[in-house]
Amino acid sequence: MRWVIMALFCLANISNAIIEISFSGITETVADIYNVPTTWVEMCSEIFMFTYIPMCFPSFYFLDNFGIRKGMVIGSAATVTGAFIRLGGFWNFYLILVGNFFVALGHPFLANSISKVSAFWFKPESRPFATTIFAICIPAGFMIGYIIPVVISSGSGRAEIGFLMLVQFLFSSIVAISVVLFFKDKPKYPPSITASHSRKKFLESIKECIKNKSFIYLFVAFACSEGTLNALVNLINPLSTGKGFNDDEISTFGVIEIAAGLVGSLIICHFFTKSRKYRLSILVLMTMSAVVVSMFLLPSEKNNFVLTSFLFGLVGFLVHPTMPLGFELACEITFPVGEATTTGLLNSGGMLVGIIETSIAQGFGNDSTAIAFILMIGLIIGIVSIILCKEEFKRSNQDIQEESVLMDT
């Protein structure tokens, strides 16, 4: 049953992510078809960042107090509702924007469930793997969302845009119905001792996180890491066009960055989670990422498609794995704080830093050199913060101690 839960969770997040990113690769095409400014088309994906932070607190309050299933149903229902409203976009573009707003409202309920589903459905030795799979399903949705619209909408017609939205609505409908029918809060028998423990109440959890210095340092490091990824998604166009690349090449960079991130997450998390060296892993990955980002400043990188593709792929390979590692470490150092609370706080930090870095870059006229400097400075701040973070394994140690007691008795 846990593999069914994993599949449903991944499909729900993928269906949401596909809609979020669906127009990013065809922004100019959609703007021309509907005769609207490109800024309005870009808002279809940017609205997810702006709604995430205010919706983050209600979402993890709901998840930690009313259960994963209800949160997943709300997230999936919001996704399919928004997808349905988007069908009216065949006639009026602004209905697409309204639909995306509803999809964005559901996003925090899905994304903030990552560590909670891992904790309640998987054994301690399987939790890091489950968290990794759950964390990469959103970028996997982004990759699919980049590719499918380009293929379907190659003819640049309104009918093709309408067909694209119909496909997305049908897919999200099937996923939402499956979630309602089959998704469960928890298995009959807890997979670990700590899975059966009650978690702290919402306000207690927030206070605990604020007082926990290690969590604050991890929060800053994670925010800088995920914020770099969020900013990179928004700034990949100006970062690349300033170096002489066309739209097709820029779309390729986006796909390469995400694909490399998926591979990197699976490989790196598989090796490092066995040793439980979360802090060291994040430190090494962020340090190497900062070095790679600095290479975007090299003159030889300009107009060099192969080198630039390699750099984008390397950034994705190194930065994406910090997300599941960060989620797991946060749950360890804050236990028994609710997993949805820690995941939600980390994600909100990443969104906030992404908005800040994007805004600063726009203040510099989206100059490619300025963008590289901004991303690099963000990573350096994160590196300093993770060095100060103290690694603790409160949840794992609790599992080990209580299992030993049970064996002795």
228-252 b/e (C-beta count within 10 Å ≥ 16 → b): bbbbbbbbbbbbbebbebebeebbb
Residue found under tokens 């192969």: 306
Q: What is the pLDDT of residues 300-317, one digit of tens each?
A: 556 778 888 898 999 999
Give the Cα separation of 100 and 82 in Å (integer).
6
Average pLDDT over residues 202-206: 84
Q: What is the pLDDT of residues 150-187, one digit of tens each?
A: 666 554 578 888 888 999 999 999 999 999 999 998 88
Residue 146 has pLDDT above 80, yes or no: no
Residue 90 has pLDDT above 90, yes or no: no
Give the Cα separation of 326 and 338 in Å (integer).
15
Average pLDDT over residues 354-359: 88
Q: How would residue 19 be classed by pLDDT, with cut points 50, 70 and 90?
A: very high
Check if the beta carbon of residue 345 is closer than 8 Å to that of residue 255.
Answer: no
Contacts of residue 70, defined as CB under 8 A and 6 or more positions apart, other chains included, come to: 62
Contacts of residue 83, defined as CB under 8 A and 6 or more positions apart, other chains included, come to: 19, 99, 103, 165, 168, 169, 172, 173
Angle, alpha carbons 196-323-369 (nearest 5°): 165
3-state secondary structure of 287: helix
Q: Give the Å distances, CA to CA, from 144 to 27, 150, 241, 259, 367.
A: 16, 10, 23, 10, 29
- Out of 159-163, 208-212, 280-284, pick the least confident: 159-163
Query: Is the model more confident about 160 or about 77?
Result: 77
Average pLDDT over residues 51-59: 88
Residue found under tokens 């559901």: 106
pLDDT of residue 349: 92
pLDDT of residue 399: 75
Q: What is the pLDDT of residues 371-391, one digit of tens each?
A: 889 999 999 999 999 999 998
Tokens, residue 28: 């100019």
Tokens, residue 272: 């490092």
Give the Cα separation of 353 and 319 in Å (integer).
15
Mean pLDDT comparison of 16-30, 77-91, 124-138, highest-scoring range: 77-91
